Amino acid sequence: MATVHLRIGDLVWGKLGRYPPWPGKIVSPPKDLKKPRGKKCFFVKFFGTEDHAWIKVEQLKPYHPHKEEMIKINKGKRFQQAVDAVEEFLKKGKGKEQGSHCNSDDKKSTDSKGRKAPAKPMKIIEEDDEDPFKGGSSDKPASSMETISKRLKIIEEDTGSTSIQAADSTALNGSITPTDKRIGFLGLGLMGSGVVSNLLKMGHVVTVWNRTAEKCDLFIQEGARLGRTPAEVVSMCDITFSCVSDPKAARDLVLGPSGVLQGIRPGKCYVEMSTIDHETVTELSQVITSRGGRFLEAPVSGSQQVSNEGMLVILAAGDRSVYEDCSSCFQAMGKTSFFLVGEVGNAARMMLILNMVQGSFMATIAEGLTLAQATGQSQQTFLDILCQGQMASSFVDQKCQNILQGNFKPDYYLKHIQKDLRLAISMGDSVNHPTPMAATANEVYKRAKALDQSDNDMSAVYRAYIH
């Protein structure tokens, strides 16, 4: 193999762990950011993100000779936006400017289609390499994010209620100062796995537990510690998060044999991230606090992909001091977080409303696609038109493309969105509020479950219309 000579200013494809090669530019590292020992590597800033990292030479390829090859193996929308950003960068003749102007630092940068370039970072996990943003102080960037508690915005709603939103809590440039508190995490499903990976990447000390113990192995390799039971994790850690499938699983985790309640001691923090009903979360709060524990509910809005990218939206309610203690954790796992003022259960209510809307919308999209087919219209043309109108979104584009490709690999389980619809309808009943759209969508999802689609993605609701 011919030797490739790289230098500062070169455009490259950089490979990080499990993730596909991504376009970037070799730049000079900050003066106080030392190169990892024993590694021949370059410091790379990535297009379409605000991430940067040391990349080993063998994980780098020149941009132009390998462009077509890389485009063929990655069709993602964010990847295409990154490639568009490279081409725009080249068109504007910025190749000789400092690496700090590589993409999102320029607020006016746009992609080749005239859209505003994305300004949020993509969270990337290195499986095999030492992360230069972990470890000793000599390996950390010069500046770190301010904590959420110093950058809160108060949002007054028309109803007079108040919520508190963390002003863009995403970990810009990967520069989070991780809490010195010991973190526990229970539940390594589609959502929890991405959360734990991002906590580890950003330098948190994490102890994990999962009902299926084998799922812990990958995270142990990435530096996590193993807890044998939920009670042991809680007793070992200062803050323990849980993210499980439904209200029964959440109750069992706390109240069952060797459960959380057996490990709770005064001052221990428990954060419930599962999407469950407000009655269940209120019950869990009461039993945790009765033992002297501190409780926060913090369900998350997103999917497996969003979780992996550290771009979740976090809704929290309960103990405000726990919310502030979770500052660096929320920065690592999400792009923003909201503290909903009022009683425990408010976050659960809000999350069910959001998922009710999303689930009903997905069912309507599937209905539109099948009606287009039934009337002799092109489904692809329907999607193309839809994505140019006011309803255009990455959600619509991704879900419709998956349907057209017959790809129903779970990003958010169909059985879980049906559970959320059921809980939202029940919540509406409790306050005598009609939910006819959600009720209709719920029946369609139930039909899809009867067709053995439970463990497929929520977009598999499409199959309820064609069988």
Tell me the domains of the chain and their CATH numbers.
Answer: 10-90 (2.30.30.140), 163-342 (3.40.50.720), 350-464 (1.10.1040.10)
pLDDT at 101: 42
Contact 131, 223 (CB under 8 A): no
Q: How sure is the predictor about 151, in pLDDT bands with cuts at 50, 70 and 90?
A: very low
Tell me the per-residue pLDDT of 39-52, one tens digit each, with 9 for 90 and over: 688 889 888 877 78
Tell me the per-residue pLDDT of 366-410, one tens digit each, with 9 for 90 and over: 999 999 999 999 999 999 999 999 999 989 999 999 999 999 999
pLDDT at 144: 32
pLDDT at 57: 86
Q: How sure is the predictor about 132, in pLDDT bands with cuts at 50, 70 and 90?
A: very low
pTM score: 0.67
pLDDT at 109: 41
pLDDT at 133: 26
pLDDT at 52: 80
Average pLDDT of the residues in 90-118: 47
> Has residue 129 got a pLDDT over 50?
no
CA-wise closest residue to 414 among 354, 373, 350, 355: 355
Average pLDDT of the residues in 294-320: 96
> Has residue 152 got a pLDDT over 60?
no
pLDDT at 89: 86
93 or 182: which leads in pLDDT: 182
> Has residue 136 got a pLDDT over 60?
no
225-237 as b/e: b if 16+ CB within 10 A: bebebbbbbbbeb
pLDDT at 349: 98
62 or 162: which leads in pLDDT: 62
> Has residue 362 got a pLDDT over 60?
yes
pLDDT at 218: 92
Contact 203, 347 (CB under 8 A): no
Q: How sure is the predictor about 279, in pLDDT bands with cuts at 50, 70 and 90?
A: very high
Contact 244, 270 (CB under 8 A): no
Q: How sure is the predictor about 124, in pLDDT bands with cuts at 50, 70 and 90?
A: very low
User: Any idea which of 77-81, 138-142, 304-308 has the lowest mean pLDDT?
Assistant: 138-142
**Burial class of residue 195, CB neighbours in 10 A (0-12, 13-18, 19+):** buried
Q: How sure is the predictor about 82, in pLDDT bands with cuts at 50, 70 and 90?
A: confident
- Which residue has tokens 């969270």? 123
pLDDT at 38: 61
Tokens found for residue 60: 């780098």
Contact 221, 196 (CB under 8 A): no
Percentage of residues in the chain having pLDDT higher than 90: 62
Contact 234, 263 (CB under 8 A): yes
Tokens found for residue 156: 């007054």
Q: How sure is the predictor about 447, in pLDDT bands with cuts at 50, 70 and 90?
A: very high
Tell me the per-residue pLDDT of 225-275, one tens digit each, with 9 for 90 and over: 999 999 999 999 999 999 999 999 999 999 999 999 999 999 999 999 999
> Has residue 364 got a pLDDT over 60?
yes
Q: How sure is the predictor about 17, in pLDDT bands with cuts at 50, 70 and 90?
A: low
Average pLDDT of the residues in 345-373: 98
pLDDT at 177: 86
Average pLDDT of the residues in 4-23: 80
Q: How sure is the predictor about 141, in pLDDT bands with cuts at 50, 70 and 90?
A: very low
180 or 142: which leads in pLDDT: 180
Q: Output the average pLDDT for the chain.
A: 83
